[in-house]
Amino acid sequence: MDVLELKENQIDVDTYLKLRASVGWKKLTRAQAQAALERSLYTVGVYVAGQPVGMGRLVGDGAVICYIQDLIVHPLVQGHGAGDMLMERLIARAESMTAEGTELMLDLMCAKGREAFYARHGFIARPTDALGPGMIRYLDKRK
- For the full predicted model, state whether its pTM sits above 0.85: yes
Structural class in CATH, domain 4-119 = alpha beta
Residue 62 pLDDT > 80: yes
Q: Alpha-carbon Rg of the chain, whole angstroms?
A: 16
Per residue in 75-119, pLDDT (tens digit) is: 999 999 999 999 999 999 999 999 999 999 999 999 889 999 999
Domain residue extents for the chain: 4-119
Residue 1 pLDDT > 70: no
Per residue in 8-59, pLDDT (tens digit) is: 999 999 999 999 999 999 999 999 999 999 999 999 999 999 999 999 999 9
Residue 143 pLDDT > 80: no
